[in-house]
Amino acid sequence: MALPATPHSPGRLVVIQPLKRKRCAGCRRGPLSLLVLEDGAPRCLDCADLGHLVFLPRGDTALTRRSREESTLSVVVVRFNRRKSRYERQGVLVEEAALARAETRCLADAEARRRRRARDARRRVAEDERFAAAFAAEILRLFPGCPVERARAIAAHASVRGSGRVGRSAAGRALTEGAVISAVVAGVRHGNTAYDQLLMSGVPRYEARRRIAGTVQSVLRAWQGVGKEDVG
């Protein structure tokens, strides 16, 4: 069975990954993992004067681009997709030294990206700490009887980045009163009542909330009163 028509890549040399076992029409070596079509006949890379090149699979766009920039000679590698009836790129052939230089450049970039990620992580941590402190301060403004450490714990829990909790909502980020109160109510529900135990025993969520509502309100009232007994 003949190979499909020679793939066309304007201004570029093309090498094929054959689907069937092929031998070189020149030296008769085979089966060939890569071949060049010359006048419809398969040639191995050595016979096509491309044997000094190394294969770089597709997948790393930056490495591919830089390898081609560094290589005096580069070749596109394709394979025929029967289902789609077309050739698809599999990678490139480049000079080994060029690939090494490209890898060095990419590693340097990787280190720069690592340092940038580290800086960004430190910045996010600082931002999160400032926001959690502001959230805790707002809790203490609304509930001056709340123990300071408890306010900090509620704020830290509510404002965990990526948690989806009320502190990360738009209202929470704006420190609206409703969002802050919601965070405090949740903190009291889980920390000052038997709510979690009720859920674990199979009590439906709304029924569990009904049962502990009085305790929640009692704690909130105590925290709203300056000088009241510490219930945290």
pLDDT tens digits, residue range 168-190? 888 888 999 999 999 999 999 99
**pLDDT score of 56 more than 80:** yes
Distance of CA 210 to the CA centre of its chain: 41
Residue pair 171/179 in contact by the 8 Å Cβ criterion: yes
The residue type at 37: L
Q: Report pLDDT for 226.
A: 45
Angle of helix 61-70 versus helix 96-142 axis, rounded to 10: 150
Two tokens, residue 24: 């070189």
Instruction: Please give the average per-residue pLDDT across 213-222, as a whole number.
Output: 95
CB atoms within 10 A of CB 167: 26
CA 54/CA 47 separation, integer angstroms: 15
**pLDDT score of 210 more than 50:** yes
CA 132/CA 157 separation, integer angstroms: 9
Q: What is the pTM of this model?
A: 0.52
Question: Helices in 143-204 by DSSP H: which ranges?
Answer: 148-158, 170-173, 177-191, 195-200
pLDDT tens sequence across 136-149:
999 999 999 999 99
Question: Helices in the chain by DSSP H: which ranges?
Answer: 61-70, 96-142, 148-158, 170-173, 177-191, 195-200, 205-224
Q: How confident is the model at residue 14 (pLDDT cuts 50, 70, 90)?
A: very high
Q: Which residue has the tokens 């909790």?
A: 165
Angle of helix 177-191 versus helix 205-224 axis, rounded to 10: 110
Cis peptide before 4 (omega within 30 of 0): no
CA 92/CA 6 separation, integer angstroms: 17
Q: Report pLDDT for 10.
A: 54
